[in-house]
Amino acid sequence: MSDSRAPADSQSTLVRWMGVTDANTAGFVHGGTVMRLVDEVAGLAAIKHSRRRVVTAAVDRMTFLHPVHVGELLHLSAMVNAAWRTSMEVGVRVESEDPFTGEVRHTNSAYLSMVALDESGRPEVVPALAPDTPQERRRSEEAQVRRRNRLAEREEILATRGD
C-alpha cells in the first residue's frame, strides 16, 4: 500500500452516557469501563487509517486524571499519531461532561498500539501517515520516542534474561 493518509482522516469520536451498570456502589465509573471505550475508539481510528481489521497489540499508557461519575457524558476522541510497517500508535483523549452544569473535564489520556491484519489474520502493511499541522508533527515525533523506548526496554529485558 503506497498512498499516505493524514492523521485527521482517522479522527474518531464516541460519546456515551454513563449509567449505573458502568459504576461501583459509590457512583464512580469503573476504570475498566473507560478502558473498554478507549480500546473501541482507538480501534475505530486504526480501521479508518488502514481500512483493515485491526487488533490491539498493546496499551502503552493510560492515565486516570479525574474520576467519572454516573450521569456524566463521556466524550472519547482518537487519532492515529504514527504508522509504521503494520502497526499504528493511536492517541485517545477522554473528557467527561456534566450535562446539568456543562462542566467538562479531561479525565484520561491513552496511547495504544494497533496492528492491521489481512484476511488470513496476518499483520498487513498500512498506509504511511503524513502529519501536516505542527500539532500532528509533534504527536508523530512523540510516538517515535515511545516506540524507541518500548523497543529499547524489550531489548534490555531480553538481554537480562540471556535470551
Ligand X SMILES: CC(C)(COP(=O)(O)OP(=O)(O)OC[C@H]1O[C@@H](n2cnc3c(N)ncnc32)[C@H](O)[C@@H]1OP(=O)(O)O)[C@@H](O)C(=O)NCCC(=O)NCCS
Structure-block grid coordinates of residue 50 = 488502514
Structure-block grid coordinates of residue 18 = 454513563
The CA distances from residue 124 to 49, 64, 67, 80, 117, in Å, are 13, 32, 38, 16, 5
Task: Give SS3 for 64.
Answer: strand
For residues 76 to 115, the per-residue mask of contacts with ligand X, x marking binding by CB under 6 A and - elsewhere, is: --------xxxx-------------------------x-x
62 scored as a contact of ligand X (CB under 6 A): no
Of 55, 62, 70, 73, the one binding ligand X (CB under 6 A) is: 55
28 scored as a contact of ligand X (CB under 6 A): no
Task: Give SS3 for 48.
Answer: helix
Q: Indicate the residue type of 73.
A: L
Q: Which window, 13-21, 29-37, 51-59, 134-142, contacts ligand X (CB under 6 A)?
A: 51-59
Q: Which residues bind ligand X (CB under 6 A)?
A: 55-58, 84-87, 113, 115, 123
